[in-house]
Structure formats: structure tokens, C-alpha cells
Amino acid sequence: MRLTSYTDFGLRALLYLATLPEGELSSVAKVSALYGVSRNHMVKVVNQLVKLGYLQSQRGKNGGIRMACDPATINIGQVIRALEGNLDGIDCGSPACHIVSVCLLKSALKEAMDAFLAVMDSYTLQDLLANREELQRVFGELIPTLVLEPENDDES
């Protein structure tokens, strides 16, 4: 199972923001620079995480983004389901496949996906922060070296 970059960076954004002191604001520019992804891509990811209620966004000069809920309440399997566009593992209709009526691959991939999601359902964001101090150290070493793209006021 390979997650889309959208989901990958959504999970990474949550991991970073959850290491910050409670209520502390960060920025999309900082998160995108931290992970080396375009700010435009991260804006889309963050906006979805805000809509889902995982993050809060505060607009304006002193604005930014922060966690909206306790990491212990964020189920990783649910985050993946919410961010991934296609969890079927295969698209039998594009291009049209001639063996669809007799193929067992789709059901095997569905079984594998269900097993993957069952494992991810057993984790919360808090579980992935068991090494919080190590994560904070790594982020702390990276942040002074970041080159940030300027933020627009309409994007947090």
C-alpha cells in the first residue's frame, strides 16, 4: 500500500503541529518548507485538515495553523480514509479491463487494504508521538535552516 503524497503530507503536517506546545501557531510556509513540498500543495492539504476538524486556521497578520484537537483523539486510519481518494487499490475501468468478470485481483487487493486500514485504525496521532522529544529535536535542527515562501493573508 502506497499512500498518495496528499495523505503523506497530511500525516506529516499533523505530526509536526502536534509536537508544538498546545495552542502554538505555525504556518503553511513553515510546514511546507520543513518537508520540502510546494506551499500550494500544502495549502490544499492543510485546508482539508481544517475542514475535517483536525487543525484550526487563524487568518491575518498574526495568523497561522495549529492543532484543533488532542492527538489522542485522532485515529490514523480515519485520517487516511478521509485524505485518500481511492482505497480500492486498483481501477478496473480505466482502461477498460476485459477480465473483470473473472478476475480475483480486486478482491485480494480489497482484503489487503482492509488489513492495512485495520492496523492503522489501531494507532492514534498520540501513538506516533511516542518519540516526541526526538521529533522536536529533529524539527528544531531543521527550522533555523528553512527558507520560507511568503504567506498570503488569505492562506494560513
Q: List Cα–Cα distances, 40 to 6, 131, 135, 137, in angstroms.
A: 12, 29, 25, 27
Counting residues of the chain whose pLDDT is more than 90, the rounded percentage is 72
C-alpha cell at 63: 495568523
Asked if 24 and 66 count as a contact pair (C-beta separation under 8 A), the reply is yes
One-letter amino acid for residue 43 of the chain = V
- Residues 49-89: tens digit of each pLDDT: 999 999 999 998 889 999 999 999 999 999 999 999 888 77
Q: Specify the pLDDT at position 113.
A: 93
CA–chain centroid gap for 111, Å, is: 24
- Residues 1-29: tens digit of each pLDDT: 789 999 999 999 999 999 999 999 999 99
**What are the residues whose beta carbons fall under 8 Å from the beta carbon of 123, sequence distance 6 or more?**
75, 76, 77
Give the DSSP per-residue string, 75-140. BHHHHHHHH-S--SS--TBTTBPTTTTT--HHHHHHHHHHHHHHHHHT-BTTGGGTTHHHHHHHHH
Instruction: Say yes or no to pLDDT of 146 above 90.
Output: no
